[in-house]
Amino acid sequence: MKSKIRLSFRMELIGKGYYSKLADQNAKKNPELAEKLSLFSRHEHKHSKLFAKLYSDRYGKQPGYEWPWQLAGKTMGVILWPLPLKLKLKRLGSIEKMAVRQIEKALASGEEGGYFDVIMAILPDEQKHAALFNDFFHQEGNA
């Protein structure tokens, strides 16, 4: 469980960095989308804090530094910058849908406490993330 919590902490921070970079890249062309991506970045940061608190409560220390993982996400955003926005959002939508399925599967076990409380708390945000991409592609005629 220790490594699962630490991995979740890191993945949320990578997501924070990537969403933040995507928001910056789209601020002028599509401010409404940029604001939603910025909100998602804040969600991911909030999620990382939940995992960090759980880790700290269980193991008496922090799961690591935030900045390297946020930087990894931002770097990914820079590297993928030349790709079309639709392609990037389609990929993110797939990742978010996969995260929702994984969380729902884990919660179906009926276990409670700790890790399960955190993933239950973040599930509504993850569902919103996945729904945005569906909405965006529907608007674009690519549902």
pTM for the predicted model, two decimal places: 0.89
pLDDT value of position 131? 83
Number of domains in the chain: 1
CA distance readout (Å), 80 to 40, 54, 70: 18, 32, 15
For residue 142, pLDDT beyond 50: no
Range of the domain at 106: 2-139
pLDDT value of position 138? 67
Residue 66: which CATH number?
A: 1.20.1260
Cβ–Cβ under 8 Å, residues 22 and 78:
no
How much is the average pLDDT of 50-78? Answer: 97
CA distance readout (Å), 108 to 12, 51, 57, 88, 96: 22, 20, 25, 30, 18
